[in-house]
Chain A
Amino acid sequence: EPEVTQTPSHQVTQMGQEVILRCVPISNHLYFYWYRQILGQKVEFLVSFYNNEISEKSEIFDDQFSVERPDGSNFTLKIRSTKLEDSAMYFCASSEQGINEQYFGPGTRLTVT
């Protein structure tokens, strides 16, 4: 069964460093998303992406964040200068159409020290 994959599973970085989280969405899906879950808190929407551009973003998704689909299979989230409060589990998701079921990857645990 097709699934969303994410790499790495765990990333440790120092405050101020740039990180890139990678995702491979399900191959025939057109919509891609990033969510995050801070330990003990709710899953929060960050951004949705369609047709090579951001279709919606939350207040969390400020200038420190960017997304890209560098090729036909990968979808990345870049955090330019990480802060301690960026420590969270980051989930990538994809859906065939905008209002269809979203399928989530296993997540990347980001630890900022």
Chain B
Amino acid sequence: KQEVTQIPAALSVPEGENLVLNCSFTDSAIYNLQWFRQDPGKGLTSLLLIQSSQREQTSGRLNASLDKSSGRSTLYIAASQPGDSATYLCAAAQGAAGNKLTFGGGTRVLVKP
């Protein structure tokens, strides 16, 4: 059974610092890995999807890496801003159709002005 873990559970950084968010998964047989942002009491906003055949995916200030063999993905957010404060979730896709997402518990990020 897939287990997805995100450590640390919470992170506080000063504005401008780069953020490094970690995600680990126990079963490397995944179709893709997706990163989401969740604001308090809100839904999930998709940030990046990285396919199992990719090592890296970039969107603006965001960069996600994937190392299937070691069961790890990392989300980098460059030059953090207070608006980046949120909970970041990773989810690994498996299942018969490759679309059953197993989520980590999230990392709650606070960017201080």
Query: Which residues on A are within 8 Å of B, measured CB to CB?
Result: 31, 33, 35, 42-45, 48, 50, 55-56, 58, 91, 93, 95, 98-107
Contacts and interface: CB of A to CB of B under 8 A. Distances in A.
Given A42-B106, A43-B103, A58-B100, 12 more contacts: A31-B99, A33-B101, A45-B101, A48-B97, A48-B100, A56-B95, A99-B31, A99-B51, A101-B34, A102-B46, A104-B45, A107-B43
Interface residues of B, number: 26
B9 to A, nearest CB: 11
Contacts of B102: 45
B97 A91 contact: no
Contacts of B95: 48, 56
Majority secondary structure of chain A interface residues (helix, strand, loop or mixed): strand
A99 B89 contact: no
A101 B43 contact: no
Contacts of A91: 43-44
Interface in B58-113: 89, 91, 93, 95-106
Interface in B22-48: 31-32, 34, 36, 42-46
Contacts of A101: 34, 46, 49
A91 B43 CA distance: 7
A107 B43 CA distance: 6
Contacts of B91: 43
Contacts of A31: 97, 99
A98 B98 contact: yes
